């Protein structure tokens, strides 16, 4: 009897608490609410590129969330049989996956804990360093994005390293390395992207000092050849590009193979942000022939791996390319006086350019405001 009434009291108290916490506790002077978002789903394919969070604190939340999703996938794939008779602490397994994420997002949206103005004031001097003149220019913002991106990339590499380095000696050997499941599962004549990736030649090219083992730097290059400084790996990437484009399998890229595939990529790289409507083949033929002629150094009418090297960075954009693209986008959105650089005031007045946010109107007319880059 006593136990039951206690139970009822507790339940009612909890319900009241829940209602109170859900009900709006402040009058809304503003017609629009905003809610900051953190990413909730992650794609682990290396070909996919996501913008990096501007604020390291948001990045940290996303990283932890991504780790959790990654671990879950890894356990499902690698230890499928183990996951069934795995004794988790009671409640731990049953806990919905999004719960921590919602808490983290709630934290960001609690204006007393996470004040966007204060964050921007705190971050500004860390970005405005070259020179520290009270303005954030494109280079400074690109460098900042790069730092965030590098931290993310290295974090993922370390995570991968731990799973591949089976004997825990700090190196990955080719025997230890297992390609990602989506590579193993893809059939051999599917999309050419997978052809030479994650194979021994790719591994050897990443092994800068040729000791048969990849240390963390080399393994990171292996996973991200577009960002490497290792000339062997850059040449491998170029060879791989030839293999992928070489539809008649003669080992070289002829004009037709160049025009249908490569040229568009190079052109879109140069035209970033401009109108990407596709003019007819006829109008593009001349510029394509001109570029082909410039690249074809020995004039044999074909492009070899070495001849593709000058454009390999455009075919495989680096982190720096994305960092700059993201910087340009942010500046274009927040640079109120259009002088090409940001002051702290401009940032404070346009805070949500720096954070992914959803805006909700009072009349429930939700719409999503988010970044445009791919
Ligand atoms: C955020 O901080 C700024 C300056 O520190 C302050 O003026 C503003 O009222 C704060 N906003 C909220 C919602 O607390
Ligand atoms: C792909 O080809 C290799 C040999 O080249 C073969 O061992 C493998 O089974 C093939 N995979 C599929 C999914 O067909
Ligand atoms: C990779 O390098 C090893 C020596 O470290 C060599 O035995 C192997 O044949 C090479 N593989 C390829 C595909 O080049
Ligand atoms: C890995 O080896 C390369 C030489 O191949 C070296 O330059 C680099 O500093 C090493 N990285 C680490 C993390 O030890
Ligand atoms: C892009 O192209 C479309 C159709 O070709 C045109 O209507 C539009 O005005 C162009 N936009 C810009 C920014 O040039």
**331-370 residue pLDDT tens:** 999 999 999 999 999 999 999 999 988 777 654 444 444 4
Cα 198 to ligand 4 centre (Å)? 20
Residues 107 and 36 in one domain: yes
pLDDT in tens, 296-338: 999 999 999 999 999 999 999 999 999 999 999 999 999 999 9
- Does residue 188's CB lie within 6 angstroms of at least one atom of ligand 2? yes
Residues 160 and 293 in one domain: yes
User: Pick from 291, 306, 301: which is nearest to 254 by CA?
Assistant: 301
Parts of the chain with a pLDDT under 50: 23-30, 81-98, 191-194, 273, 363-374
Examine residue 327 and state whether it is found in any structural domain, yes or no: no
- Residue 68 and residue 99: Cα distance in Å, rounded? 12
Q: How many domains does the chain have?
A: 2
Examine residue 241 and state whether it is found in any structural domain, yes or no: yes
- Give Rg (Cα) of the chain: 26
Beta bridge mates, 361 = 32
Give the model's pLDDT for residue 265. 85
Beta bridge mates, 156 = none
Residues 167 and 268 in one domain: yes
**CA 274 to ligand 5: nearest atom:** 13
Give the model's pLDDT for residue 305. 95
Examine residue 325 and state whether it is found in any structural domain, yes or no: no
| Domain region containing 197 | 155-319
Our mutation pick for probing the ligand 1 site, out of 25, 112, 118, 355, counting the most ligand atoms within 8 A of Cβ, is: 118
**CA 111 to ligand 1: nearest atom:** 13
Residues 197 and 291 in one domain: yes
Is residue 85 within 8 A of residue 22, CB to CB? The reply is no
Residues 275 and 364 in one domain: no
Those residues whose C-beta lies under 8 Å from the C-beta of residue 279, and which sit 6 or more positions away, are none
For 344, which DSSP code? Answer: H
Q: In this structure, what token pair is assigned to residue 155?
A: 């974090």
Q: In this structure, what token pair is assigned to residue 263?
A: 């040229």
Residues 207 and 274 in one domain: yes
Beta bridge mates, 35 = 358
In total, the chain counts a number of residues equal to 374
E-assigned strand segments in the chain: 32-36, 172-173, 213-214, 357-361, 367-369
Q: In this structure, what token pair is assigned to residue 150?
A: 């590098």
Residues with CB under 6 A from ligand 4: 208-209, 215-218
The CB-side HSE value for 257 (13 A sphere, CA atoms) comes to 19
Residues 106 and 190 in one domain: no
């Amino acid at each position: 009897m006593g136990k039951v009434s206690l139970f009822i009291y507790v339940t009612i108290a909890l319900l009241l608490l829940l209602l109170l916490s859900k009900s709006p506790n402040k009058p809304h002077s503003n017609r629009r609410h905003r809610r900051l978002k953190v990413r909730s789903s992650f794609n682990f394919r290396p070909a996919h590129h996501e913008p990096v969070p501007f604020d390291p604190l948001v990045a940290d939340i996303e990283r932890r969330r991504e780790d959790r999703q990654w671990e879950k996938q890894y356990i499902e794939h690698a230890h499928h049989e183990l996951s069934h008779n795995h004794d988790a602490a009671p409640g731990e397994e049953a806990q919905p996956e999004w719960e921590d994420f919602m808490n983290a997002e709630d934290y960001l949206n609690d204006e007393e804990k996470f004040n966007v103005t204060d964050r921007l004031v705190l971050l500004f001097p860390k970005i405005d360093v070259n020179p520290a003149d009270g303005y954030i220019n494109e280079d400074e913002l690109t460098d900042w994005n790069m730092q965030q991106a590098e931290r993310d990339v290295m974090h993922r590499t370390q995570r991968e390293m731990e799973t591949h380095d089976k004997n825990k000696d700090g190196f990955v050997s080719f025997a230890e390395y297992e390609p990602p499941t989506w590579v193993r599962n893809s059939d051999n004549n599917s999309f050419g992207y997978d052809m030479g990736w994650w194979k021994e030649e790719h591994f050897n090219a990443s092994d800068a000092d040729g000791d048969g083992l990849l240390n963390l730097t080399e393994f990171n290059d292996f996973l991200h050849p577009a960002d490497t400084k290792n000339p062997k790996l850059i040449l491998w990437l170029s060879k791989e590009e030839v293999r992928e484009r070489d539809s008649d399998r003669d080992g070289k890229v002829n004009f037709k193979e160049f025009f249908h595939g490569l040229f568009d990529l190079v052109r879109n790289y140069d035209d970033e942000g401009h109108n990407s409507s596709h003019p007819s083949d006829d109008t593009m033929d001349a510029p394509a022939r001109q570029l082909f002629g410039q690249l074809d150094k020995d004039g044999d009418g074909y492009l070899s791996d070495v001849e593709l090297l000058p454009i390999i960075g455009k075919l495989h954009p680096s982190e720096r390319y994305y960092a700059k693209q993201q910087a340009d986008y942010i500046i274009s959105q927040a640079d109120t006086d259009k002088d090409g650089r940001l002051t702290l005031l401009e940032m404070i007045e346009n805070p949500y350019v720096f954070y992914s946010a959803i805006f909700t109107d009072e009349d429930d007319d939700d719409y999503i405001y988010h970044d445009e880059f791919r």
